[in-house]
């Protein structure tokens, strides 16, 4: 018996390990695909995500369509890692994705429509999850919009992940670093030729890897009967909160876990008060997969995964500790449940309007109001790119060729065609943090290193100086001195550039 159990769990570990590898490959594949997308596709993506409220509803609508918040948040992580979506814009996408994750449980509740009393309780518990996310978003969205609360906290939270020891460890979370070159080379070549097709394939691969991981842990945790979840809901709210966190962290499906308890509440075996902490925990547990996807990626990608965690942690801190505050979304859900019992059309109208019609029309009619921020750089390549030499000496210190990053703000959706000497890059300031091409720098904090790669191979770049100054035009700018090991002389990126803000 023990031998059979050992073999069973051994197979489970092997299957999950292989699926995680497939998942990590799909994430890196998505990053490569985003980087290889042509400008006529990149333009609408950056345009659509540059408006905070539209970004919020894009995240909501996309998650409602694919019915997987894990899929949508990992796509956001990949887009940030590729440098095509800014961290502060991605925060609103993640907020919307968090809200869109509840659409599955709300749809499940509609299955009780033929039984009035059950339908009232089912729609109440499903919308309780909605109201928690809606109220949390109503509190945090303006704080992020005006003060950058989540993005600023997320950057600070991501700092330990950028330490040298952490980078060495997380290096292996990118399968492209240890898979056979023939495999990675084939993937890279195919991606460069078929970027859009690759992006779709990578998303499909990621979706199914997460789906199979979810199915494996669903059978282990719940067995063959979904109603077995009732016996795991303990008598205290704190135990229910922890159960929601750990069960969703394993299954990685917030929608699945929340949907499974709806029948139990509908037949009156569980109350809304006992269920609410479980739903809050399920929200937090669903953030693990985005963090896993971001571990081997640039600082900005880790920061957006941390922002996803912080959104749910702050929501729990607001609604969990004080019973009177916790009762607010519960009362809202009960009122909607009673309205649905009087007229069942109310439940259907709520789902269609909240998750599909309102987001679609807000996105459609707000297109003309988007301010497009476009960032470009100019690069004067040295005569001998294989051996970068300083242009002249100043005070005993070498002066290298400069890259100048600058920002343009346009009211239309035009997009500059890229050339070999002018390309697209993100460089912007958020509070006291400077973001350059997906890297986050706390202003005044040097000695940051990261890994880069060019046609010659891998090398390290280290931040040695970061100071603020103004030029003659009155614009704010940041002078950033970069250095690399002296043994590497094929560097194509100059070790000194200026970011104009």
Burial 343-367 (b: 16+ CB within 10 A, else e): ebeebeebbeebbeeebeebbeeee
Question: How far is C-alpha 208 from the geometric centre of its chain's CA atoms?
Answer: 18
Rounded-to-integer distance, Cα 91 and Cα 77, Å: 10
Rounded-to-integer distance, Cα 446 and Cα 467, Å: 9
Q: What pLDDT was estimated at residue 149?
A: 92
Tokens of 118: 């059950």
Rounded-to-integer distance, Cα 391 and Cα 434, Å: 27
Q: What pLDDT was estimated at residue 230?
A: 54
Pairing relation of β-strands 433-436 and 397-399?
A: unpaired
Give the DSSP letter string of 286-353.
TTHHHHHHHTTS-HHHHHHHHHHHHHHHHHHHHHSS-HHHHHHHHHHHHHHHHHHHH-THHHHHHHHI
Q: What pLDDT was estimated at residue 3?
A: 66
Q: How far apart are the first and last CA of the chain?
A: 67
Burial 180-206 (b: 16+ CB within 10 A, else e): eeeebeebeebbeeebeebbebbbebb
Question: How far is C-alpha 119 from the geometric centre of its chain's CA atoms?
Answer: 34
Give the DSSP letter string of 192-209.
HHSHHHHHHHHHHHHHHH
Rounded-to-integer distance, Cα 76 and Cα 301, Å: 9
**Alpha-carbon distances of 45 from 26, 42, 49, 144, rounded to whole Å:** 20, 5, 6, 21
Mean pLDDT, 10 residues at a time, the chain of 501 residues: 67 82 84 75 68 84 79 87 82 90 76 73 85 93 89 88 65 74 80 84 85 73 51 69 84 72 76 87 88 83 92 95 93 88 82 82 65 35 36 37 33 30 46 59 54 50 48 42 37 34 34
Tokens of 497: 């550039």
Q: Residue 378: beta bridge partners?
A: 404, 422
């Amino acid at each position: 018996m023990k031998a059979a159990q050992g073999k069973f769990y051994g197979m489970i570990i092997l299957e999950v390990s292989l699926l995680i590898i497939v998942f990590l490959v799909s994430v890196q594949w998505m990053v490569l695909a985003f980087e290889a997308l042509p400008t006529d596709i990149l333009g609408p993506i950056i345009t659509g995500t540059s408006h905070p409220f539209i970004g919020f509803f894009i995240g909501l609508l996309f998650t409602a369509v694919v019915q997987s918040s894990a899929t949508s948040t990992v796509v956001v992580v990949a887009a940030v890692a590729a440098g095509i979506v800014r961290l502060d814009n991605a925060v609103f996408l993640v907020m919307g994705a968090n809200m869109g994750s509840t659409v599955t449980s709300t749809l499940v509740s509609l299955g009780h429509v033929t039984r009035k009393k059950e339908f009232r309780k089912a729609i109440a518990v499903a919308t309780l999850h909605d109201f928690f996310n809606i109220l949390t978003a109503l509190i945090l969205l303006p704080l992020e919009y005006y003060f950058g609360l989540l993005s600023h906290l997320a950057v600070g939270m991501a700092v330990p992940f950028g330490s040298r020891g952490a980078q060495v460890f997380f290096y292996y979370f990118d399968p492209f670093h240890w898979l056979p070159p023939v495999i990675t080379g084939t993937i890279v070549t195919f991606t460069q030729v078929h970027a859009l097709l690759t992006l779709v394939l990578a998303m499909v691969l990621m979706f199914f890897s997460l789906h199979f991981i979810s199915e494996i842990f669903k059978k282990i945790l719940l067995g063959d009967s979904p109603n077995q979840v009732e016996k795991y809901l303990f008598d205290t709210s704190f135990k229910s909160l922890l159960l929601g966190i750990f069960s969703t962290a394993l299954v990685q499906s917030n929608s699945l876990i929340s949907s499974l308890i709806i029948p139990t509440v509908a037949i009156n075996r569980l109350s809304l008060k006992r269920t609410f902490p479980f739903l809050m925990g399920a929200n937090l547990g669903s953030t693990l997969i985005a963090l896993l996807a971001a571990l081997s990626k640039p600082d900005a990608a880790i920061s957006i995964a941390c922002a996803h965690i912080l959104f749910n942690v702050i929501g729990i801190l607001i609604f969990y500790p004080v019973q009177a505050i916790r009762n607010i979304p519960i009362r809202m859900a009960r009122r909607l449940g009673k309205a649905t019992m009087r007229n069942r059309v109310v439940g259907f109208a709520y789902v269609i309007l909240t998750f599909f019609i309102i987001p679609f029309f807000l996105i459609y009619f707000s297109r003309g109001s988007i301010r497009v921020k476009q960032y470009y750089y100019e690069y004067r390549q040295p005569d001998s790119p294989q051996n970068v030499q300083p242009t002249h000496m100043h005070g005993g210190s070498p002066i290298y060729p400069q890259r100048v990053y600058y920002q343009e703000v346009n009211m239309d959706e035009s997009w500059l065609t890229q050339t070999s000497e002018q390309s697209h890059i993100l460089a912007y300031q958020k509070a006291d943090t400077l973001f350059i091409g997906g890297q986050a720098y706390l202003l005044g904090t040097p000695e940051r290193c990261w890994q880069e790669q060019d046609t010659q191979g891998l090398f390290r770049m280290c931040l040695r100086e970061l100071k603020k100054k103004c030029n003659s035009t009155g614009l704010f700018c940041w002078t950033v001195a970069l250095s690399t090991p002296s043994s590497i002389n094929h560097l194509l990126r100059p070790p000194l550039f200026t970011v104009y803000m």
